[in-house]
Amino acid sequence: MDILRQLRQETLFARQRVYRAGAPTPLEKIELDGPGEVFAKREDLCAIKAYKWRGAFNRLALLSENEKARPVLAASAGNHAQGIALSARLLGLKAQVYMPVTTPAVKRSAVLRHGGDAVEIILHGDSYDEAYAAALARAEATGGVYIHAYDDLQVMAGQATLADEVVMSGKGPFDVAYLQIGGGGMAGGVANWLKTYYPGIRVVGVEGAGQASMKAALAAGKPVELDALDIFCDGTAVRKAGSTTFKVCREVLDDVITVTNEEVSDAIRLYWERLRCLQEPSGAMGLAGLLKDREAHPSARALVVATGANLDFGQLARIADAAGIGGGHRRHLRIEIPERPGAMLALLETGLGSLNIIDFQYGKRHEDRAWPVFGLSCSEPEHAALVERLRAGGYSFEEVDSSVEVRYRAIACEARLLTHPLFLELEFYERPGAMHAFLDNTVRGRGNFCYFNYRYSGERVGRALIGMEFDSAEARAAFGDTLPASGKGYRRCRVLADDEMTRLFG
């Protein structure tokens, strides 16, 4: 029996088992601009907030009496561990789950919550690879049964039951499906089932640009190990595709594309805006792939899988940072201007125009030249027009999205170059032109910028720390004495005390 036929048969058997552990999940339409329809399979709405319970339960339910008497082991950095824990408790088994020491506490507690006394967590190593190796070694030493997260036909069959629910929903057929790939278990199982019932469907695998192990395997003709692994999408961070999943995926996937972390973050934003659904990075990869590839299928009825919502809350800040604002793309530009009064305002007025500034970093570090960094949310046409304006204005500039200063907000400022400095803590209303109006009405002609630190936070009120320098102590004092605490377009402006400035800048 060929592997695809065998997988279809195992999927038929799996649909009789898995619903002892969980209920079917809904298929929801995502309203996107333009033609075509997009539906999302909401696997984040199950008991463990991810699809992994399906494969874990199906595999554990197949254990023989002899196997049940032996140690049951697994390795996971998150969702598979929760699936194993839930399944072991429901089936009356005992399981040991190896997890990296770096696994966030929220994920460890979720495993214990679902498994209770049925599961033991063993923390080992700094990465999934180390935890996996330790679990395998333990299984070999004890004669235990190792439950693989993806490279197992029964696990794949369990994951494929989500595709059976898609078919049974009556909302098909679909023209194209975008399925995220980690090890390939879900993508292979789901694609195989979809192609059985929708013979004309095109299935596109989606991988992170820095973790494309299946794409590398397909290019090499066999699974190969990646030298480096990006773990932003930690649920799909697999260094080497499975041998079984590779055999299936090379038969059922029509294409494999890659997406960047920024594209994934933008898909998370879109899930939130359209469905009020908050996905973990790997959970949004399918939608990210669709958005990237949409021009290839502009009028298609498309399917994506929202695979999981087990997001570490601390990751939200980075995701928000990487996502576009209002559908735009984030761009960071370092622009060179003369270090003289009025030069910054002139750039804001003529070069940047009415673009949405979401990040503004500047610190004085040269007597004659300045290099402010601006973060912008803009469309491709807006970016192209900006480049033309800057070139026409004679500005020297460069894209610095991945620079250290942007990634870590490292704003250098040479205190020795500042003359009679004064720093302001500003709160202004987040609407177009509000910050510029404050700067134009309050600052123009009175001082020179020496520092600026602002980043959009999504609130109605924006906050910025602004440094200015003056020709004399008298001019500095006069500015501070006449500055209103609030005014048109801004809610509050406070002059930092001398001791606060000393702590910040020496």
| Higher local confidence (pLDDT), 497 or 504 | 497
**pLDDT-derived band of residue 327, with 50, 70 and 90 as boundaries?**
low
Average pLDDT over residues 188-198: 98
Is 321 part of any domain? no
Count of domains for the chain: 3
Is 129 part of any domain? yes
**pLDDT-derived band of residue 443, with 50, 70 and 90 as boundaries?**
confident
Task: Annotate 27-41 with b (16+ C-beta within 10 A) or e (fewer).
Answer: bbebebeeeebbbbb
Strand partners, 468: 422, 449
- How confident is the model at residue 434, as a pLDDT? 74
- Domain of 368 in residue numbering reads as 329-505
- How confident is the model at residue 326, as a pLDDT? 60
Least confident range of 37-46, 251-260, 286-295, 407-416? 407-416
Clarify whether residues 366 and 306 are in a common domain: no
Is 323 part of any domain? no
Question: What values do phi and psi take at 419, rounded to 5?
Answer: -115, 120
- How confident is the model at residue 1, as a pLDDT? 63
**Does the structure show a pLDDT above 80 at 321?**
no
Q: Is there a contact between 204 and 289 (Cβ–Cβ < 8 Å)?
A: yes
| pLDDT tens for each residue of 230-276 | 999 999 999 999 999 999 999 999 999 999 998 999 999 999 999 99
Domain boundary among 315, 347, 368: 315
User: Collapsing DSSP states into helix, strand and coil, what is residue 268?
Assistant: helix
Written as one string, the DSSP assignment of 190-220 is: HHHHHHHH-TT-EEEEEEETT--HHHHHHHH
| pLDDT tens for each residue of 14-23 | 999 999 999 9
**By percentage, how much of the chain surpasses pLDDT 70?**
98
**pLDDT-derived band of residue 437, with 50, 70 and 90 as boundaries?**
confident
Clarify whether residues 83 and 135 are in a common domain: yes
Neighbours of 356 (CB within 10 A): 15
Strand partners, 492: 427
Clarify whether residues 462 and 381 are in a common domain: yes
Is 139 part of any domain? yes
Residue 171 sits in a domain whose CATH number is 3.40.50.1100
Closest CA to 357 of 256, 284, 436: 436
Closest CA to 413 of 339, 329, 326: 339
Average pLDDT over residues 361-375: 94
Is 395 part of any domain? yes
Task: Please state at what angle helix 153-168 crosses helix 243-252, rounded to 10 degrees.
Answer: 30
**pLDDT-derived band of residue 113, with 50, 70 and 90 as boundaries?**
very high
Is 226 part of any domain? yes
CA-to-CA separations, 86 to 13, 21, 307, 326, 411, in angstroms, rounded:
20, 8, 17, 39, 47
**Does the structure show a pLDDT above 70 at 177?**
yes
Clarify whether residues 41 and 78 are in a common domain: no
pTM, entire model = 0.86
**Does the structure show a pLDDT above 90 at 374?**
yes
| pLDDT tens for each residue of 114-136 | 999 999 999 999 888 899 999 99
Q: Is there a contact between 156 and 163 (Cβ–Cβ < 8 Å)?
A: no
Written as one string, the DSSP assignment of 89-103 is: HHHT--EEEEE-TTS
Average pLDDT over residues 53-75: 96
Domain boundary among 146, 175, 209: 146
**Does the structure show a pLDDT above 80 at 473?**
yes
**Does the structure show a pLDDT above 90 at 174?**
yes
Q: Is there a contact between 330 and 375 (Cβ–Cβ < 8 Å)?
A: yes
